[in-house]
Amino acid sequence: MEFQVEKKQVPLHFGLDFMDEINRLSGMVTGGVNVGAGAVAEQQRLEMGDPTALVRVIYAASKGASPRPSQELVRKQIEQINDVDELQSLFDSVLEEIKNSFPLQFQLKKMKAMAEKANRKTGATNATK
112 within a domain of the structure (yes/no): no
Percent of the chain with pLDDT over 90: 57
The answer as to whether 119 is a domain residue is no
The number of distinct structural domains making up the chain is 1
For residue 66, the enclosing domain spans 2-101
In-domain check, residue 107? no
Rounded to an integer, what distance in angstroms lies between the CA atom of residue 27 and that of residue 40? 9
| Strand 8-11, strand 2-5: pairing | antiparallel
Residue 110 included in any domain: no
pLDDT (tens digit, 9 = 90+) per residue, 105-121?
A: 888 888 888 888 888 88
pTM metric for this prediction: 0.83
Establish if 55 belongs to a structural domain. Answer: yes
Mean pLDDT across the stretch 100-107?
Answer: 87
